[in-house]
Amino acid sequence: TNIDGVNAELRRLFPEAWRKICLLREQGVSSLDPAYQELVARVVPDLEWVDPWNHPPLSREGGFEEAVYRSIVGPDPEWVVEGTLRGYDPVPRLREIQAPTLVLTGRYDRLTPPEVADEIHEALAPGRRSFHVFERSAHRPWVEQPDDYFDVVGAFLAKAS
């Protein structure tokens, strides 16, 4: 799952933080516990950018709605999906989508990697699907490559209408 991929990246790139995460897990701490979230908040943002030290600012107004997230994915979402999304797999039904569909991804997205976007693209009906990889972006191509992003989206919308 995508959760496993994020955890693999944390383990690979931040072994010292991963050890602390594993210690928390051994103590029965869930991934929504403030101690867990504080630890992860220090390292996950580095997975969101091509260059974690030099990227455009991103407003975080409104913040994180834990109650909503918990209802959707459950009380321990970084390990297992138990909320309303439990067992949900949209991939088998993607071919039923009749509208033109654009799938976008950043080449260096370590949270939702290009292989996930490619799986979605391949599950859509041929002839109604488009796929684009932003070569200098990670999780937020609209921030890292805004001109390219809006050109691609604008061209898709113009063609689809």
Alpha-carbon 79 to chain mean position? 15
Token couple for 89: 């797999």
- The pLDDT tens digits for 8-58 are 889 999 999 999 999 999 999 998 899 988 888 888 888 888 988 888 777
Give residue for tokens 């997205």. 109
Q: Rounded distance, CA 159 to CA 82, Å?
A: 39
74: left (phi over 0), alpha (psi -120 to 50) or beta: left
Q: What is the pTM of this model?
A: 0.81
- The pLDDT tens digits for 98-157 are 999 999 999 999 989 999 999 999 999 999 999 999 999 999 999 999 999 999 999 999
Q: Mean pLDDT in the chain?
A: 90
Q: Is 70 exceeded by the pLDDT of residue 60?
A: no
Q: Rounded distance, CA 35 to CA 117, Å?
A: 32
Identify the band that residue 1 occupies on the pLDDT scale cut at 50, 70 and 90.
Answer: low
Residues in Cβ contact with 143 at an 8 Å cutoff, skipping those fewer than 6 apart = 55, 56, 58
